[in-house]
Amino acid sequence: MILLLLAIVVGSKQFTESVILGEIAAQELQSAGIAASHRRELGGTRVLWEALRAGQIDLYPEYTGTLEQELLPGERDLPAALSRLGLRMGPPIGFEDDYAIGVRRDVAARFGLRAISDLPAHPDLRLGFSNEFMRRRDGWPRLREVYGLAAARGLEHEVAYRALRDGAIDATDLYSTDAEIRAGDLVVLADDRRAFPRYQAVFLFRAEVAEPVLRALGQLHIDERQMIAMNALALIDRVPEARVAAGFLGRPGAASDGLGRRIWRRTGEHLFLVVVSLAAAILLSIPLGILAFRSPRLGAGLLGAAGVLQTIPSLALLVFMIPLLGIGAGPAIVALFLYSLLPIIRGTHTGLATLAPELRESAHALGLPPGAVLARIELPLASRSILSGIKTAAVIDVGTATLGALIGAGGYGQPILTGIRLADTGLILEGAVPAAALALLAQGLFDLAERLLVPRGLRQ
């Protein structure tokens, strides 16, 4: 019988172990009669942390070293520091997932590498670390400080593993429970100067979470061997994380959706993001474009502001939205709306600015009021340029909306991100091909709209 609680939302980061732990938590709560859902692959540490603090999720798996070094630096009493923020930490899950530096076995043998302190003696070695590792205080900055390493480049964690296997880089950061260590026959270099702290796996909760939830997850115990085996099932044997979690808990896994049903569901999510953001942008941008034409000084400011918004990296804009709007479709729609403004404002402004002045003079000479001139002459004649701006915005939105999956907005980005994480080309194509097809369809629909709405003489 389901307990009378609000549905508990479990979050997970964008790496396999976190997704598995999120699935285990959600399924364990469901088996205890607690309504629970899992919002998977929401991004990096900061995204999950801000979502938890904002109440967008109720719990997620984290690591004590990350809390000490990245999220609550300088805090010696983690439970007290979390309590001040309205959060709490569960007991250790049972394993540690420490940072480590790994190299291929042939590279270790060639250069005599046994510990991280051996790396500075070989400055020609190519170091490639995950982007999050490069940014974190307990990652590259700490490694560089303790071991005196000179330079490294950032890559996505899964890409770095492939680059290491292919010989494009010589060393990368690992998690000690990664299945790739054994599968890729990698050598883990000893952290002989103790640069990295301990990373005990725990669940972080909002303080308001009810005691039955805490009791259900407090009974979980996963040791290192079990975690490595589950990571291997997901990453190497391609077993879906939900089935991996069900197998660990000794329960039958739910049947997964077929390809057609998955694409249909993702198409609905993607269209929702694009259509809502584009409709809102059209309603605001066309009047702003008219205003920009009517008032050149104000128009320069409007176009400049819209241009500045266009230069903000889309991922950064999505992350900036989280403290204001949380995670999910909301911040993704706002970000897409902002990116749609410039093409439509500029298209409207350009269409009106390129009209022959004699047309307006003739209209005014006939005694038409300004509103009628705009509605019957200026906008119809500028319609081709306006539609061109809307078409550009629509195509941009279709592509950019794939990043919405990083904050739980769904859409075609979800299989793309999962495919990158699992190095599964089929999953990447499952999102990329429909996204490309939708962009082409949007372009074709606006070409058809141009034929129907733009006077024939203007299309010549």
Average pLDDT estimate for 147-165: 84
**Does pLDDT of 63 surpass 90?**
yes
**Tell me, what's the pLDDT at 4?**
41
CB neighbours of residue 455 within 10 Å: 11
* Range(s) of the chain covered by CATH 1.10.3720.10: 259-459
Is 253 a residue whose pLDDT tops 80? no
**Residues of 326-344 as b/e, b for ≥16 C-beta within 10 angstroms?**
bbbbbbbbbbbbbbbbbbb
- Residues 446-456 have a mean pLDDT of 77
Q: What pLDDT was estimated at residue 392?
A: 92
Residue ranges, CATH 3.40.190.10, the chain: 8-96+199-249
Q: Domain 8-96+199-249 is of which CATH architecture?
A: 3-Layer(aba) Sandwich (3.40)
- For residues 152 and 84, the answer to whether their CB atoms sit within 8 Å is no
Reported as a single tens digit per residue, the pLDDT across 260-312 is 888 999 999 999 999 999 999 999 999 999 999 888 888 888 889 888 888 88
Classify domain 259-459 at the CATH topology level. MetI-like fold (1.10.3720)
Q: Tell me the pLDDT of the chain averaged across its residues.
A: 87
Tell me what pLDDT residue 137 has: 84
In the chain, which residues fall in CATH 3.40.190.120?
99-189
Which fold is adopted by the domain 99-189?
D-Maltodextrin-Binding Protein; domain 2 (3.40.190)
pLDDT reported for residue 3: 44
pLDDT at site 256: 66
Look at residue 201 and tell me whether its pLDDT is greater than 80.
yes
Read off the tokens for 246: 């069900």
